[in-house]
Chain A
Amino acid sequence: MSVERSEGDRNALLAVHFGEGEARTVAATRAHLEGCPRCQEYLRVLSEVDAALRAWPEEVPPPDLAARVLSQATRRPQHVAVVASVPSAMPLVGLLPVIAALLLSIRELAQWLAALPFWDSLEEWPAVQVAAPFGAAALVLFALGGLASLAAAPALLMESRR
């Protein structure tokens, strides 16, 4: 006889077999069982497999296992509790000289750009008016940084694959 059942039916039979689930559902399933040979068959299979598995009795651990496990375990250092802390500002303090140097470089470059003979004609461009010498200098530095990254990319790629 086939024991193929729908998932809901079979789960209800699990509830009956293991005595797990709402009393009302279990009672309804028990009532259904009386007139359903297929469900009776599946419940029988469940009982048989369960009983067969229990034929492997609980085993006794080796008598010396406790001593071995406990002596080894307590030799290891315990993890300390992780305490949530306010993020440290120290990395930013370390970056301050770098930021200052960058700003100084941008200012120097801006002054140099403003002194160029064709700067007056460039100032007629709306983009330059918005950017002004300081912004333009920042853009130039940004572009130079991008070019340097592109130049270094192949070497970095080779390094990462090593």
Chain B
Amino acid sequence: MEDIPDHALVAEVARGDAAALRALYLRYERPTFNLILRLAGNREMAQDMMQETFTRVWTRARTFRGDQGSFKGWLFTIALNVTRSELGRKRHGVRHLADDAVEHLPSGADGPDVLVARSEVGRLVADALAQLAPHLREVVVLKVYHQLKFREIADITKTPEGTLKARFHRAVAELRERLAPAGSRPA
């Protein structure tokens, strides 16, 4: 199924083909999981939201219109809506990255000292993102971690490009304060 384009797989999913859903899941598991994780800030919640996201893909595959955008955009819109509603419903807010997240950070060939330092930086970034307002966090995550164009983010979030850019500037100003090393913070 590796060579089958997304829209053909979604059509199969709409006909009740579980293997097609599996193929789509494996193709997009990692980016979707990381999108949700960075928006929710918590691995446990991210797993629940992945469940809900792909359940919606399964149940709503018939509503996908390939001529109106990519599957990835449709999937990200679902993931974003799931995250928004779950965070709102549970009134959970975004919790700080759980300690167990550290062991899941890719280690590569780094030694223990580097790994600890990287974990600390990862936690600092997660905390800084968690303190952003949700609508600011969304644009930062989609832009920086998923390298989407503002036009694509506008399609996913149903927000005008100009508004998204203004939000990005605001987020940069807030993140600059939180991420700058103590000695180099602006006056």
Contacts and interface: CB of A to CB of B under 8 A. Distances in A.
B58 A57 contact: no
B135 interface: no
Q: Which of A18, A55, A61, A81 has the most CB of B within 10 A?
A: A61
A77 B55 CA distance: 10
Given A45-B176, A70-B22, A14 B168 contact: yes
B8 to A, nearest CB: 17
A73 B106 contact: no
Contact of B51 (A18, A46, A49, A68): A68
A7 to B, nearest CB: 7
A48 B47 contact: no
A73 B175 CA distance: 37
Interface string B1-41: 00000000000001010100110011001100110011000
Given A59-B37, A61-B33, A78 B121 contact: no
B58 A74 contact: yes
A58 interface: yes
A162 interface: no
Nearest to A77: B59
B179 interface: yes
B75 to A, nearest CB: 13
Contact of B33 (A11, A57, A59): A59
Interface string A71-82: 011101111110
Contacts of A20: 149-150
B30 A78 contact: no
B144 A50 contact: yes
Query: How big is the A interface, by class?
Result: 35 or more
B65 interface: no
A115 to B, nearest CB: 64
Given A14-B168, A78-B14, A78-B61, A73 B105 contact: no
A62 B44 CA distance: 10
Interface in A40-98: 45-46, 48-50, 52-62, 65-66, 68-70, 72-74, 76-81
B165 interface: yes
A112 to B, nearest CB: 59
A88 B104 CA distance: 58
Interface of B: 14, 16, 18, 21-22, 25-26, 29-30, 33-34, 37-38, 43, 47, 50-51, 54-55, 57-63, 101, 104-106, 118, 121-122, 124-126, 129, 140, 143-145, 149-150, 162, 165-166, 168-169, 172-173, 175-176, 179-180, 186
Given A7-B166, A55-B122, A69-B50, 11 more contacts: A11-B162, A53-B140, A55-B121, A56-B121, A59-B37, A60-B106, A66-B26, A68-B47, A70-B22, A78-B14, A80-B62
